[in-house]
Amino acid sequence: MTFLLTLLAAIFVLGPLIALHEWGHYIVARLCGVKVLTYSIGFGPKLFGWTSKKSGIDYRISALPLGGYVKMLDEREGEVAKGEQHLAFNRQHPLKKIAIVAAGPIMNFVIAIALFWVLFMTPTEQLATKVGQVLPDTPAAVAGLPVGDKIVAIDGHDVQTWEGINYRLAGRMGETGEVSVTLQSDPQNSSARQTYQAPVQQFMQGAAQGKDALSSFGMLPWQPQIAPIIGNLAPDGAAIRQGLQKGDRITAINDEPIKDWISATRIIRDSPEVLLNFTVLRDGKSVQLPIMPQGKKDNLGNDYGQIGAMVAQSEIVIPDAYKTTVVYGPGESLIKSFEKTEQLAVMTVSSMGKMLSGMIGLDNLSGPITIAKVAKQSFDISWQMVLSTAALISLSLAVLNLLPIPVLDGGHIVYHLIELIRGKPLSEGVQMVGLNIGLLLLAGFMVLAIGNDISRLF
């Protein structure tokens, strides 16, 4: 059942993105006077579809849902009647060819901007960007960031939400240097600002790989002080097997004092398959329990520990000082959607460069299985998360398709730019060599991405 729901979620999110990407190629081709033969969602054998009586275009859904294509009349792919040669793609001016090829990725950019626009216009109550906690032995601790001050900028870029902070920090992944954090001590006085320099070394790599950007940096939002008292225990968990009982209060883990539940869960999550010494208070007496968290994997394949223990229920009240309502008007939302699209596009290209240079591992590359799992997870959270996930995937499709690799749209654009400069296209032989190289590169990336996806399952 989980597999079916994951598949349906992936189809629901990816289907429209693929269809609109191909529609971009399709509509611009028709506007440029090129005859379209087939509009397909998916590759391989045709599952179902129809042929337009007016245009003769074969609209179809195909068996392999890993993309789609628009087949146009082209003399390189078959004989074309003399009366239709002016409708063939290969006969068009290079600028028309570039417009047709670029239309797909541009449509994905438009989709991302539109979805971000909707999300920015939706009022949300969020945690204020005040530093709630600074973790020891982290860049934030070394920089001496004060708890309670409001974060207003990262590396000189204004930030208004923790999501924005997270993206700015994630953009520094793999880097060594200093992260600039600007804090404001008085919310009413914009001049009461101070900038701190936090040193990072191969940020989010090594021992920190798999952790989120905020935890790796050591700067967290406000979190409730939940007493570390055990509530329910999973019948097959490590906790109950090693003697942890309902009502026990965790006072220390490996001699590190524990004052709240979140501190305990952070140590447990960071210690998969590592034996931990728990000190608990039971009936007024201190009890020592060795417990090894079971190793689990999240949707992105990151390892984490779990002992099968839940906290006793308690009421959580967020202080007003740590709450804020974020709302933007239509105009400001549109500006912010463009800014976010640009930021994430640059971060995506930068991350690819870092993978190729070895600054970050190739295991960060994800494929269709991970995308499907993330899509399913977004449906479990909220409609806003579904739109956000769709926007991020659409943006990734746009950037990936614009890479100058033959077979991809970016590679074809390079061919047509060369044709525009030379006044004639590259020879068929040269183009075929490029396409074969592109296919090998693409196949290699797909094998690596799917291999990473599979490794995250186990």
Residues annotated catalytic, as ranges:
22
d(CA 101, CA 106): 9
- Category of 67 on φ-ψ map: left (φ > 0), alpha (ψ -120 to 50) or beta: left
Q: Under 8 Å CB-to-CB from 422, ≥6 apart: which residues?
A: none
Report residue 18: phi and psi, to 5°.
-65, -45
In this structure, what token pair is assigned to residue 192? 């009461």
In this structure, what token pair is assigned to residue 457? 């399952």
DSSP string, 132-147: -EE-TTSHHHHHTPPT
Q: Under 8 Å CB-to-CB from 103, ≥6 apart: which residues?
A: 24, 25, 27, 28, 29
Q: Which amino acid is at 242?
A: Q
Cβ 383 vs Cβ 414: under 8 Å: no
3-state secondary structure of 274: coil
Element (H, E) at 177: strand 177-184
DSSP state of 425: P
Burial class (CB in 10 A: 0-12, 13-18, 19+), 181: buried
- Category of 123 on φ-ψ map: left (φ > 0), alpha (ψ -120 to 50) or beta: beta
d(CA 283, CA 212): 37
DSSP string, 1-30: -HHHHHHHHHHHHHHHHHHHHHHHHHHHHH
Measured from the Cβ of residue 41, the count of other Cβ atoms closer than 10 Å reads 22
In this structure, what token pair is assigned to residue 137? 């032995």
Measured from the Cβ of residue 151, the count of other Cβ atoms closer than 10 Å reads 23
d(CA 111, CA 398): 10
In this structure, what token pair is assigned to residue 341? 């699209």
- Crossing angle (nearest 10°) for helices 94-121 and 330-357: 120
In this structure, what token pair is assigned to residue 396? 């990734």
d(CA 227, CA 430): 68
In this structure, what token pair is assigned to residue 187? 């919310």
Q: How far is residue 291 from each of residues 38, 88, 282, 298, measured CA to CA in Å?
A: 61, 70, 16, 21
